Structure 1
């Protein structure tokens, strides 16, 4: 079957991309979603705080997804649910399988990758100890509680201070569990400041920075965990052990973009983000294949996912409408001091845009700082002031076309912390 645009993933990124492409005139769109319903991870995020940027109001995750699902119902977008994508080729053939239609190959003029991300597990971080029941990733526990209706434990220790873990600390407490502590191996939190305040501080849940779990004990079910302080090398310090009697361990130790399909297609990947290398319009190294959302880089806010996916949807619609091919002049973006990565990594200087949206994360907590943008000869093109920067919060700057056109060579985004 042939479509102009095939979108892989029906979560917030896929929904926003489809909506934007339809609004820009693309009338042959198919969303392929492996779950039984649209919405992705938002369906289990029953807390509020979504939509403040995009809808200018506070919504729960299902409400936010519902807004886009309703918009989609007013379009002619074809939706394949409970369908698994097996392969995406460089020729934009999407191989899928489902109980309803069996094995199919969808031919597309453009493809948008919106597969999201997955959680790191206990095996990925090699926590020592026995292998009892009661060890969950935070997202799995969230699904059990909010969708399946199961209480996963009563006395809980959370490893990692990612946003899902922080939110689950509050959720478990509200359901009557005792969250003993949240343990973070880094000297700073990995989550948003507002989640630290609302989910830990407001419930008097201690956060142990520069600590990690060094042993999980129990036979059939978790009985206790040992927590140790770590040094600057992230190694446990002997003699600092604390033992917590608990029946549950939740892991919030990072997210991994789901890019098996991307790699198999031969798309160039960025080892810093574990996602595809993209241009300012979200196009990957394969012309006509775009990427957006958490499959590209892990976001803090779904509103930013929506804006990024809409950009990909509009670009895909323009390509399907016979828009001009990609321009030849390309500007490369690099990460400088303290910056972990930039998205996009490349910009078409002749493309139709007023300003390039650049997202990045820092590698360390910084006080009052300046974000500096320099070109290949060391000339400062722009600077932006920030009161505070932290790895748990994604940063965003806009670079006008005139600034980019004046650059000589690649441009570098760096952080200069101001001395007190």
Structure 2
């Protein structure tokens, strides 16, 4: 019987395990399906990590190495090259690897830190033939940065998520020609800094409100047809452009790895595709916690780390202390122009001073304000000069504000500030 099992050895799992260890529990096991710790950070050789948490600029492998070193300085056990097949509500973790075979491991608490996966061509249904040369941006990143393969020489990128933007720059630096980045929405899905540093600095055009309508090629991609889309994201006849290329990289969204969450019968949020969580990252099953991209897709690994420390600390508290009955809960609702908010439920008794709520909007705002409402009454507001869907926002709710919520519901809204 372990005190804690952490599923996933990426940035979320590493931070959660370190936090749990530092808060008093010692029998901790990290299970990672890859052959090394670090997760997606191992292939992210660009810099820009760590500015918030470490207050310095690091590459992905450097950021991961900091936490791997912390793990190595503890008694935390690690199972690599091991696949978790199932997690039961009774906290039994079914795993398999080539050395120990099939095992059922029992534990007092679990932290889900499995990260997320990319949407593929099949998920978005692009018409045309099925030639070689179509990759997800993350797969291409691994081929180029870890395996040493250049995946193409004339590249079109569909979608403007951060991985796609970063790969536009990476492919250019490796000698490929990136012809364009195509985005179906009227705004980019990535961070502003990545648009500037990865597209603008290399004169790579970004086509907003466009999509690929056809892929042509027999053995390898030869051409793609790109068309403008209307407000309903339907192609507009007569706007087609044809690009000669040999490679398409897809950066069309990330999905939390939620199969284990479903198997464990956790309550899932249809907006995030991850589990519902409380203010301490506990899920709907007591003793099972979740953090990082398995809950909702983050922009910055620094925020993943902060959230995972919260989950690891709460898991340690769960193991070491008797569980308290907490009934004074507030449901966090998505108000006007808000796509989702995390955590979805806040228990007032668990808040000492304040709680952070992360959310995303569904349109671009310039001068605007974030409103915290309950029963239509505005409890707090915060002005913002710029909010975009591609960048996660957060608000800090004080205990004083939470005490004003009497009916159990709190709503987060965003609205434009009228100019006079």
Contact 1:31 1:78 (8 Å CA) reproduced: yes
Q: 1:408 aligns with which of 371, 385, 406?
A: 406
CA distance in 2, matches of 1:408, 1:322: 29
Give the match for residue 391 of structure 2.
393
Contact 2:351 2:399 (8 Å CA) reproduced: no
| Equivalent residue runs for 1:10-409 within 5 Å | 10-375=9-374, 377-409=375-407
Quote the offset at 1:406 in angstroms: 1.7
Contact 2:226 2:241 (8 Å CA) reproduced: yes
After TM superposition, the score normalised by the length of structure 2 is 0.99
Contact 2:137 2:251 (8 Å CA) reproduced: yes
Report the more deviating stretch, 346-355 or 183-192: 346-355
SS of equivalent to 2:15? helix
SS of equivalent to 1:328? coil
- The runs of 5 or more residues in structure 1 that have no matched partner are none
Quote the offset at 1:324 in angstroms: 3.7
After TM superposition, the score normalised by the length of structure 1 is 0.99
Compared CA separation, residues 307 and 326, structure 1 to 2 (3 A): farther
CA distance in 2, matches of 1:235, 1:324: 52
Quote the offset at 1:354 in angstroms: 1.8
CA distance in 2, matches of 1:324, 1:234: 49
SS of equivalent to 2:349? coil
Contact 1:29 1:77 (8 Å CA) reproduced: yes
CA distance in 2, matches of 1:408, 1:334: 15
Quote the offset at 1:408 in angstroms: 1.8
CA distance in 1, matches of 2:120, 2:284: 30
Compared CA separation, residues 394 and 8, structure 1 to 2 (3 A): same
Quote the offset at 1:352 in angstroms: 4.5
RMSD over aligned Cα atoms: 0.7
CA distance in 2, matches of 1:278, 1:229: 39
Quote the offset at 1:353 in angstroms: 3.0
| 1:341-382: CA deviation from partner (whole Å, max 9, x where unpaired) | 11000011111532111000001111111100011x222111
SS of equivalent to 2:236? coil
- The runs of 5 or more residues in structure 2 that have no matched partner are none
| 1:78-108: CA deviation from partner (whole Å, max 9, x where unpaired) | 1000000011011111110011211111111
CA distance in 2, matches of 1:216, 1:119: 20
Contact 2:369 2:414 (8 Å CA) reproduced: yes
Contact 1:326 1:351 (8 Å CA) reproduced: no
Aligned length: 418
SS of equivalent to 2:90? coil
Quote the offset at 1:26 in angstroms: 1.1
